[in-house]
């Protein structure tokens, strides 16, 4: 074991490089070598302490991996913002991982004897905590780990300064105000500053605050810092809330949402608008596509009779839309899809997008817009690392265009989005290209969702055509089963740290969240049997039948419902999706 005293002394040295503190060796982990003879300081699944084999000292961690548990041990520590830390550890076994939640990780495929893993990471400008972890992999033998070190300064208050306050709780919401309360700091406290982002919105002397003057149906996230004459503490964890006064969407509490192949048949056959069953509450017309990738000029061309012999006339199509709307249904233009890539690289393309989309909405009397950008429509430039303040033109211009459309059509304008998991939940681990030269599309929908959260009617992430994705339990989930839908949807309700940025994406309102599924095996990879879908709904809505997963965002009684690709494929397979799920949604509390 390394000398703790020497590490602490050396760790007092900080070198400033480009405004970022580079942390010098001071292991800030508790029980880093498990020399207490216990797992004290660690949170473990399948972990125990053994006396052999060890790297040094008398004890080491043993991770008992199974087919369903990769035996993760983790520890959360306070850190300083904008500071570079070094993480290392000695591991033994097959497929052993060491990393930082939401950030960098490293691994070894096989280590017959103790082998050192190491990495470095830099905390975000407002980051005050980090969770490090070590784990094996499913179905592998047990692994061992020892002498884990996180080198750098801890986020302890400066001498004489107050400690970090407790994470605030939301005590009340109205159409114009949000009430908060939090646990008191220790030490001498002059008062508390309530922050929204980097802006102080209120200063108080007690441990409660009411933030007033807010807009109706707007979402906010607050942190709290204590201060005295010596200085200010690090900020607390964040609390998110939405003011009341949201305009009624006109949708049922739990809705069935489907895509209608209006411009092509796709092997599943054409379905006339008038023949769409009444159970479908939102009908997305697929697709509006651009004249070129960067033109912004969106066209909606109905399926030609040569491809769709049963296609109705424009007059009948329009009449059927109006009949659906009279029955309380919402009919939207869906833009993008697998083949319709849209890159709004310029202000001119942005304006053309707004004008052309408006023309389609007006021509057919539609209720709003579904954004189904896939492929390379969205990406993040190298230095675009703050989802709250994006700078990449294709992202900034899309946000501006959507805001213009919302302003033009008003509160009744229905806005939905159908991103793939790669553009949303993958952002928990990686945001943009990162420092490792990764895919710059990772998490690139997050700034759009965040900027439009107060105008967003429903977000239905495509829980299909996806690789394994890490959930908030820091385990990978695979599409096709209830646990994938539970874990992916919980991320949208609870929110999550974004990559290594030190920022947290706040969760959405539960009534804004649905999840997407293929209607049948031919419709896409990741088909989920009806019984498993119902299990996922029971967990998400009622907090029941969650298997081994714990909801971080809690149950969502107002979860909006289910989306499918597509209505056409559902008809092709004798309406299995509609017949299985519409009654189940209607019966939910």
Count other C-beta atoms under 10 Å from residue 492's C-beta. Answer: 24
Position 80 scores a pLDDT of: 83
The DSSP string of 493-514 is HHEEEETTTTEEEEPPPGGGEE
pLDDT computed for residue 26 by the predictor: 61
Mean pLDDT of the chain: 90
Sign of CA dihedral 34, 40, 45, 49: positive
Residue 121 confidence (pLDDT): 87
Indicate if the pLDDT at residue 11 is higher than 60. no
Check residue 46 and give its pLDDT. Answer: 87
Whole-number pLDDT of residue 20: 45
Alpha-carbon distances, residue 466 vs 274, 404, 480, 527 (angstroms): 33, 32, 10, 11
Nearest alpha-carbon partner for 369 in 338, 321, 320, 336: 336
The predicted-structure confidence for 464-482, as pLDDT tens digits, reads as follows 999 999 999 889 999 999 9
Query: Which candidate in 35, 279, 289, 374 is catalytic?
Result: 374
Confidence of residue 107 (pLDDT cuts 50, 70, 90): confident
* pLDDT number for residue 579: 98
For 248-265, what is each residue's pLDDT tens digit? 889 999 999 999 999 998
Which pLDDT does position 422 carry in this prediction? 97
- The whole-angstrom separation of Cα 516 and Cα 565 is 8
For residue 347 the two structure tokens come to 């202000």
Would you say 197 and 128 are in contact if contact means Cβ atoms under 8 Å apart? no
**Residue 147: which pLDDT band, with cuts at 50, 70 and 90?**
very high
What is the 3-class SS of 141-205, one letter each residue?
CCEEEEEEEEECCECCCCCCCCCCCCCCEEEEECCCCEEEECCCCCCCCCEEEEEECCEEEEEEC
End-to-end Cα, the chain, rounded Å: 56
What mean pLDDT is predicted for residues 474-499?
95
Domains and CATH numbers, the chain: 4-151 (2.60.120.260), 169-242 (2.60.40.10), 255-587 (3.20.20.80)
* 467: three-class secondary structure by DSSP: coil
Q: What is the pLDDT of residues 416-442, one digit of tens each?
A: 999 999 999 999 999 999 766 789 999
pLDDT at 120: 85
Q: State the DSSP string of 38-104.
A: S-TT-EESSEEEESSS-SSSS-EEEE---SS----EEEEEEB-TTEEEEEEEEEEESSEEEEETTS-
Residue 436 is predicted with a pLDDT of 65
Q: Which structure tokens are listed for 116? A: 């050192």
pLDDT reported for residue 6: 33
Q: For residues 165 and 455, what is the distance between their CA atoms, to the nearest angstrom?
A: 32
Nearest to 123 by CA among 565, 500, 564: 500
Q: With contact defined as beta carbons under 8 Å apart, do 90 and 145 qualify?
A: yes
pLDDT of residue 438: 87
For 268-312, what is each residue's pLDDT tens digit? 999 999 999 999 999 999 999 999 999 999 999 999 999 999 999
Three-state DSSP at 269 gives coil
29-84 pLDDT, tens digit per residue, is 888 999 899 998 898 988 999 999 999 989 999 999 887 778 989 888 888 887 88
pLDDT in tens, 527-543: 999 999 999 999 999 99
pLDDT band (50, 70, 90) for residue 19? very low
pTM metric for this prediction: 0.71
Pairwise pLDDT comparison (531 vs 196), residue with the higher score: 531
% of the chain surpassing 90 pLDDT? 69
Q: Which distant-in-sequence residues (6+ apart) come within 8 Å of 151 by Cβ?
A: 7, 11, 23, 24, 25, 26, 27, 28, 85, 86, 87, 88
Q: Is the pLDDT of residue 4 over 60?
A: no
Residue 374 appears among annotated catalytic residues: yes
User: Taking 60 as the threshold, does the pLDDT of residue 557 lie above it?
Assistant: yes
Q: What pLDDT sits at residue 459?
A: 98
Q: How far apart are CA 54 and CA 65, in angstroms?
A: 18
As given in the structure block, the two tokens for residue 3 are: 């000398």
User: What does the pLDDT look like over 217-232, one tens digit per residue?
Assistant: 888 889 898 999 988 8
Of the candidates 542, 439, 553, 574, the residue with the CA atom closest to the CA atom of residue 488? 553
**Three-class secondary structure of residue 466 per DSSP:** coil
Please provide residue 23's backbone torsions phi and psi, each rounded to the nearest 5 degrees: -75, 135
Cβ count within 10 A of residue 335: 26
Classify residue 428 by its DSSP letter. Answer: G
**What is the model's pLDDT at position 490?**
96
Hey, what are 72's tokens?
């993760």
> Which residue in this structure is represented by tokens 């939640």?
101
342 DSSP 8-state letter: -
Contact call for residues 72 and 145 (beta carbons, < 8 A): no
DSSP assignment of 369-383, as one string? EEEEE-TTS----TT
């Amino acid at each position: 074991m390394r000398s703790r005293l020497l590490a602490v002394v050396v760790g007092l040295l900080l070198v400033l490089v480009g405004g970022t503190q580079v942390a010098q060796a001071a292991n800030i982990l508790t029980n880093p070598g498990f020399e207490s003879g216990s797992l004290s300081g660690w949170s473990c699944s399948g972990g125990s302490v053994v006396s052999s084999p060890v790297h040094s000292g008398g004890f080491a961690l043993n991770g008992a991996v199974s087919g369903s548990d990769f035996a993760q041990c983790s520890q959360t520590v306070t850190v300083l913002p904008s500071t570079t830390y070094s993480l290392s550890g000695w591991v033994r076994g097959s497929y052993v991982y060491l990393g930082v939640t939401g950030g960098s990780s490293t691994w070894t495929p096989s280590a017959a004897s103790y082998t050192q893993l190491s990495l470095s990471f830099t905390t975000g400008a407002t980051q005050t905590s980090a969770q490090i972890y070590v784990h094996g992999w499913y179905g592998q033998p047990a692994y061992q780990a020892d002498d884990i070190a996180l080198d750098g300064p801890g986020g302890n208050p400066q001498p004489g300064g107050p400690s970090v306050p407790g994470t605030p709780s939301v005590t009340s919401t109205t159409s114009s105000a949000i009430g908060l309360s939090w646990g008191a700091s220790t030490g001498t406290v002059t008062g508390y500053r309530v922050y929204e982002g980097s802006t102080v919105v209120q200063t108080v002397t007690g441990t409660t605050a009411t933030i007033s003057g807010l807009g109706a149906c707007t979402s906010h996230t607050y942190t709290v810092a204590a201060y005295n004459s010596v200085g200010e503490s690090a900020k607390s964890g964040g609390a998110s809330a939405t003011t009341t006064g949201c305009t009624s969407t006109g949708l049922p509490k739990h809705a069935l949402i489907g895509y209608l192949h209006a411009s092509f048949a796709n092997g599943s056959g054409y379905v006339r608008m008038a023949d769409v069953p009444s159970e479908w509450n939102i009908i997305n017309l697929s697709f509006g596509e651009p004249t070129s990738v960067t033109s912004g000029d969106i066209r909606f061309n109905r399926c030609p009779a040569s491809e769709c012999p049963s296609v109705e006339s424009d007059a009948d199509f329009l009449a059927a839309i109006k009949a659906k709307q009279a029955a309380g249904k919402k009919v939207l233009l869906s833009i993008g899809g697998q083949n319709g890539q849209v890159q709004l690289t310029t202000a001119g393309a942005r304006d053309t997008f707004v004008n052309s989309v408006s023309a389609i909405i007006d021509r057919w009397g539609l209720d709003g817009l579904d954004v189904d950008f896939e492929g390379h429509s969205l990406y993040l430039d190298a230095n675009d690392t703050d989802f709250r303040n994006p700078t990449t033109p294709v992202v900034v211009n899309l946000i501006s265009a959507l805001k213009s459309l919302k302003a033009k059509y008003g509160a009744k304008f229905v806005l939905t989005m159908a991103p793939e998991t790669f553009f949303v939940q993958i952002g928990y681990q990686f945001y943009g290209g990162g420092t490792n030269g990764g895919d710059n599309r990772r998490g690139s929908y997050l700034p759009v969702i965040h900027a439009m959260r107060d105008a967003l009617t429903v977000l239905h992430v495509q829980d299909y055509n996806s690789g394994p994705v890490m959930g908030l339990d820091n385990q990978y989930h695979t599409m096709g089963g209830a646990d994938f839908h539970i874990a992916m949807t919980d991320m949208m309700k609870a929110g999550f740290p974004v990559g290594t940025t030190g920022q947290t994406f706040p969760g959405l309102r539960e009534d804004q969240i649905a999840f997407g599924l293929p209607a049948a095996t031919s419709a896409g990879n990741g088909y989920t049997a009806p019984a498993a879908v119902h299990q996922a709904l029971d967990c998400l809505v009622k907090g029941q039948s969650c298997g081994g997963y714990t909801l971080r965002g809690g149950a969502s009684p107002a979860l909006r419902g289910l989306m499918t690709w597509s209505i056409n494929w559902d008809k092709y397979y004798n309406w299995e999706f509609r017949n299985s799920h519409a009654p189940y949604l209607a019966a939910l509390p």
